[in-house]
Amino acid sequence: MVNQNALHLLDHLKQTDSPISGTALARQLGVSRVALWKRFEALRAAGYAVAADRSGYRLLASDKPLPWEFPGDESRVFHFETLGSTMDEALGLALNGLAEGAVIAERQSAGRGRSDHRWVSPGGNLLVTLVLRPKLPMAYAGALGLEALATLADTLAELYGLTLTLKWPNDLMAGDRKVAGVLVEAWGPADGPRFFTVGLGLNVHGLPELDRPTASVEALGLPNADRREILAGWWRRLRRWSADPVPNPARWVERSPNPERQTVETFDGRTVTGLPQGFDRSGSLLLAVHDEVIPIRYGESRASGVCP
């Protein structure tokens, strides 16, 4: 954690895009040049890039989601340069008493998606897992996952005017290109889990290694997208919903593409193909198969695809 003296310097640097001389900064902060240098070193150690030349010091652009960038939530934000998995770290913190929080990594060495698929991402993306405690049964993990996607879509629409769609069970799409994925896990008894972990991998500035078409927020025309404001907006929306969860299938349908025949592979070996009929309140996909509508629960799906 950066000390308060360094954060005070950070606030001064954020107030202008123009270089500030060391003499002027030292005078404004009421410190010696040696003390000022130590504060700069603390900022650099925390991951901030500071340009220094004859004209003075200037904070270089950075959207790194560090804890102190989230006023009021600093103690609940855990940031790592490299981590095996934000999901695993969040689980450990929750089991040790974390009531709610966010675990963020710049890079993951063992990130995972559904069906134990690996999520390998370059730096510059938003890799985060939230610990949430909504009053939902375990069977409603799919509802939380769809709401996580919907609130992310709402956040990106509000901030940048992006129109993205949900693809059940866990993708956010720009046309046929994946922009983000969500993974929800429930921990505790089936009728009322102690907590849920909601993992998010959002392509902001880079593209992950996937065997399918992908897109990033930057590639969609927004090079100045800020991971800090995206996380703050998404977390705020999802936290508000989790405090009083009311599943709304119509809301998720509105954010889904036009129905096409869809094939779902389940963990028990079934392959189900049908025409999507929306979702139920638990977040299950409703498929019309012949004359029957079959619900496919979030936890049943191994993989899904659209049929031509």
pLDDT score, position 243? 96
3-state secondary structure the chain: CCCHHHHHHHHHHHCCCCCECHHHHHHHHCCCHHHHHHHHHHHHHHCCCEEEECCEEEECCCCCCCHHHCCCCHHHEEEEEEECCHHHHHHHHHHCCCCCEEEEEEEECCCECHHHCECCCCCCCEEEEEEECCCCCHHHHHHHHHHHHHHHHHHHHHHHCCCCEEECCCEEEECCEEEEEEEEEEECCCCCCCEEEEEEEECCCCCCCCCCCECCCCCCCCCCCCHHHHHHHHHHHHHHHHHCCCCCHHHHHHCCCCCCCEEEEECCCCEEEEEEEEECCCCCEEEEECCEEEEECHHHEEEEEECC
Domains and CATH numbers, the chain: 4-59 (1.10.10.10), 67-254 (3.30.930.10), 262-306 (no CATH)
pLDDT in tens, 258-279: 777 888 888 888 888 999 999 9
Is the pLDDT at 65 greater than 90? The verdict is yes
| Confidence tier at 308 by pLDDT (50, 70, 90) | very low
- Please state, in angstroms and rounded to a whole number, the distance separating the CA atoms of residues 48 and 54: 20
Mean pLDDT of all residues in 110-138: 79
Percent of the chain scoring above 90 in pLDDT:
57
- Candidates 6, 245, 298, 286; CA nearest to 134 is 245
pTM as predicted: 0.86
Average pLDDT over residues 121-129: 88
Q: Which residue has the tokens 């102690």?
A: 194
Contact by Cβ (8 Å): 265, 271:
yes
Q: pLDDT (tens digit, 9 = 90+) per residue, 170-211?
A: 999 999 999 999 999 999 887 778 999 999 999 999 887 667
pLDDT at 198 (0 to 100)? 97
The predicted structure's pLDDT at residue 189: 85
Q: Cα(242)–Cα(130) distance, rounded to whole angstroms?
A: 11
Which pLDDT does position 260 carry in this prediction?
79
Q: Judge contact between 140 and 102, C-beta under 8 A.
A: no
Range with top average pLDDT, 7-21, 210-224, 277-291, 293-307: 277-291
pLDDT, tens digit, 9 for 90 and up, residues 237-266: 999 999 999 999 999 999 998 777 888 888
Of residues 297 and 121, more confidence is placed in 297
* pLDDT the model gives residue 106: 93
User: In this predicted structure, what is the pLDDT of residue 162?
Assistant: 97
| Mean pLDDT (whole number) for 126-148 | 95
Closest alpha carbon to 40 in 55, 58, 27: 58
Residue-wise pLDDT for 76-116, tens only, equals 999 999 999 999 999 999 999 999 999 999 998 876 655 45
Question: Which tokens belong to 21?
Answer: 């001389």
Q: Across the strands, what pairs with 304?
A: 264
- pLDDT band at 304, cuts 50/70/90? low
pLDDT for the residue 307: 36
Q: What is the C-alpha separation between 153 and 132, in angstroms, rounded?
A: 19
